[in-house]
Amino acid sequence: MATQLTLNNSTKLYEQALELIPGAILGIRRPYNFVPGEYPIFFDHAKGGKVVDVDGNEYIDMLCAYGPIIIGHREEEIDNAVIEQIKNKGFCMSLTQEVQNTLANKMQQLIPSCQKSVFVKTGSDATSAAIRIARGYTKRKKIIRCGYHGWHDWCIEVKGGIPTKLYEDVYEFSYNNLNQLERLMNEHSHDVAAIIITPLGHPLAQPVEMPEPNFLETVRQISEHYGALLVFDEVRSGFRVGLGGAQKEFGITPDLSVFGKAMGNGYPISAVVGKAEIMDVLKSEVYLSSTFFPNSLEQIAALKTIEIIERDDVLGDIKNKGEIFAEQVSKVIANSKVNCTFSGGPWMPYITFNKDDLNKYKELRASFYTKLIRRKVFLQPYHHGYIAYRHTSEDLKYVAEMIEESLKELEKDL
């Protein structure tokens, strides 16, 4: 039986942070989103596919900073390119640097929906900009959505501090549920600016979903029928499912797309891309600007990340390792008596616990992830994981074995 980790330094830093920062840490990184008392709260350093907390515990990092780490932590080739830019050219200026055009040209080559692009910093920046572009282009106001899409007023689940009028024109449907979508489109048909959807379904704390046959094709047809734009939120799937995004993998080209996370291997960059005619509303009709959007360091990092992904077949390697890992874990769960589900292979592995009338699944989930973190596997109870290029086959074999051990131990507890 694995013993509880020593987390004294994490606890001290957390108590200190409570006096300095509301909640000590923002949002999804707070302790209640893991298993309080069992998970570290502060990390110290990371390298490759592993991360070390402030108490010296080393973990196989299967969360990958919630997705940005596609190659590995502290990739010298990427970091050195950024350092050279800092030393030789600088990165924050009153005017834009040439690297903008180089990266935009690369995006155009890779992404089916990309005729023009704009670069921002976060996924929330990109999704919100895409919605503004869609409304500006169509002259309509309503949005039909499926996915997370970020923390901005129009889409955040927690409504504190947000007037109702800022999200009253946004309507949600469930992934793979065409009936819901059709009802919403029929009801709001003449004023829907866009349907925004993640091409893979990844609802919070629920299994990752792949598109059912003809689901995305039908969403595309529905958007065209009603004159609404189709926006793919590829913040998680972009530069992970494929260099051209999930849209290229699935053969469905949206009007607009947003990319982020893996695009810069940890550097804060995201993008809105789309058809030239639509994107051109940014010339004068729709405003988008920030002091830091044009900074070149993240663009340099993105270019180098894409170069490495192409050169070393990073995504092919991840998919291959992910498929082997998914097969191993699926067999473990099939042979387990614990009521749980594996989903998300090969790109976004996730173990969820099936709901029951007595809500025992919550206890099972907490117990399982407690056992897993004690075995130095860093996964999240409420969020799917990721696989990075620097995860070795041995790393993933170990993770699969620790999942098996944890489930067997859980069976004994039951």
Give the CATH number, domain containing residue 50: 3.90.1150.10
**Whether pLDDT at 358 is above 90:** no
Closest alpha carbon to 396 in 320, 333, 343, 287? 320
Contact present, 206 and 365 (Cβ < 8 Å): no
pLDDT: which is higher, 341 or 414: 341
Q: 51 and 80 share a domain? A: no
**What integer is the mean pLDDT of 263-284?**
98
Q: Which residue has the tokens 């099972």?
A: 364
**Whether pLDDT at 204 is above 90:** no
Q: 58 and 150 share a domain? A: no
* Assigned domain for 1 exists: no
pLDDT digits (tens, 9 = 90+) for 5-26: 999 999 999 999 999 999 999 9
Domain boundary among the residues 273, 288, 311 is at: 311
pLDDT digits (tens, 9 = 90+) for 155-195: 999 999 999 999 999 999 999 999 999 999 999 989 999 99
**Which regions of 147-191 does DSSP assign to beta strands (E)?**
170-172
Give dist(CA 53, CA 272) in Å, integer: 35
Percent of the chain with pLDDT over 70: 100
Q: 224 and 369 share a domain? A: no
* Assigned domain for 386 exists: yes
Q: 353 and 231 share a domain? A: no
Neighbours of 49 (CB within 10 A): 22
- How many structural domains does the chain have? 2
Domain range for 390 is 8-73+313-413
Enter the tokens of residue 202.
Answer: 């990844």
Q: What integer best gives the mean pLDDT of the chain?
A: 97
**What integer is the mean pLDDT of 278-303?**
98
Q: 90 and 57 share a domain? A: no
Q: 244 and 259 share a domain? A: yes
What confidence score (pLDDT) does residue 414 get? 80
Angle at 25 between CA 24 and CA 31, to 5 degrees: 90
What confidence score (pLDDT) does residue 19 get? 98
Q: 156 and 232 share a domain? A: yes
pTM above 0.85, yes or no: yes
Domain boundary among the residues 311, 345, 377 is at: 311
**What integer is the mean pLDDT of 269-274?**
98
User: CA dist 25 to 19, 21, 30, 31, 383, Å?
Assistant: 11, 7, 6, 9, 17
Domain boundary among the residues 311, 344, 371 is at: 311
Q: Which residue has the tokens 């950024």?
A: 82
pLDDT digits (tens, 9 = 90+) for 63-99: 999 999 999 999 999 999 999 999 999 999 999 999 9
Give dist(CA 299, CA 294) in Å, integer: 8
